[in-house]
Structure 1
Amino acid sequence: MNRKPLVLVTACLTFIALPATAGATPGRGVTAVTIFDHVAGNTDYVLKEITLAPGGSTGWHYHPGEVTDYVKQGVLSHDDATCESDGVYHAGQVISEESGPGYVHIGRNLGTTNVVLEVFYRSPVGQPLAVDQPNPGCSYE
């Protein structure tokens, strides 16, 4: 039996069924290391160290759950979907980010040294930590 048609149909259906965000702006110059990931009840607790290289950004996104960031090194520029700054955070500062699709934002490293963040996520089990979104019309990504 020739399985090629079945494989092709399955691949196409998988592609069609996957949710996609048209025009999403993925991060650039970003690396992340998971320090811990633990599920308790209906919450996934994740701690990551995220590094943004000079000129890097997180890309436009929102978080399904609560997020608290600690700026370990550098200066993070943080903008919301109105293309306005909602904060510039220096080493030693803490950021509490709102959750949900109503708070699309981007973090950028406009400096010349790495920005290093310790990011603590409290997300509903089964949800991604962040959901990429298209640029809301800002002149930058």
Structure 2
Amino acid sequence: MRKTVSVLAATVLAAVLLPATASATPGSGVTGTILARKTIGHTDYTLREITVQPGGYTGWHFHDGTLYAYVKAGTLTHNLADCSIDGVFGTGRAFTEKPAQVHIGRNLGSTPLVLEVLYVLPAGSPLSEDAPDPGCGF
């Protein structure tokens, strides 16, 4: 009986204390600069400029709130977790991203992609949260 309790206790401790294996997909060729940040009530507003180099991508992720984006330069190819393209946005275009919608942004062009993004998130939320690769093959 003591051995069973010891094994159970060790298993619980390992599950709580050891980091989980991440299956998230890191981005590549992406940099971001926060231009402004303000919290009003229970909402964080963050304005950020994001640059994605040719061939770069954000990695699969989602946001806890709504994002409003404007393409300053280049072209963004935006895919959802079902692998569909839900938009190709060129210079001068604006788009939104819905809360909790898993997606990836890719720059398939030959020039840098520059986005101006307003994050409207619950106070204290991260700008984005990693999501596992759904197996789209890109």
- Bigger Rg, structure 1 or 2: 2
Q: Distance in 1 between matches of 2:17 and 2:51?
A: 33
Contact 1:21 1:134 in 2 (8 A): no
TM-score by length of 2: 0.85
1:127/1:21 CA distance change after superposition, 3 Å: farther
Q: Distance in 1 between matches of 2:24 and 2:129?
A: 9
Q: Distance in 2 between matches of 1:98 and 1:72?
A: 20
Q: What are the ranges of 5 or more consecutive residues in structure 2 without an aligned counterpart?
A: 1-12
Deviations 1:16-48 (A, max 9, x none): 376x57210011100001000111100000000
Q: Distance in 2 between matches of 1:128 and 1:58?
A: 15
Q: Percent identity?
A: 50
Q: 1:108 aligns with which of 92, 106, 109?
A: 106
Q: Distance in 1 between matches of 2:43 and 2:86?
A: 27
Contact 1:21 1:132 in 2 (8 A): no
Q: Which amino acid aligns with 1:127?
A: S
Whether 1:16 aligns to 2:17 is yes
Q: Which amino acid aligns with 1:56?
A: G
Partner of 2:89: 89
Q: Distance in 1 between matches of 2:42 and 2:83?
A: 34
How many aligned positions are there?
125
Q: 1:129 aligns with which of 127, 130, 133?
A: 127
Q: What are the ranges of 5 or more consecutive residues in structure 1 without an aligned counterpart?
A: 1-11
The CA deviation at 1:86 is 0.4
Contact 1:23 1:133 in 2 (8 A): yes
The CA deviation at 1:126 is 1.2
TM-score by length of 1: 0.83
Q: Distance in 1 between matches of 2:124 and 2:39?
A: 10
Alignment RMSD: 1.8
Q: Which amino acid aligns with 1:95?
A: F
Partner of 1:78: 78
Whether 1:46 aligns to 2:46 is yes
Q: Distance in 2 between matches of 1:126 and 1:38?
A: 11
**What stretches of structure 1 move > 6 A for 4+ residues in a row?**
none
Q: Which amino acid aligns with 1:136?
A: P
Tell me whether 40-49 or 21-30 shows the greater mean CA deviation. 21-30
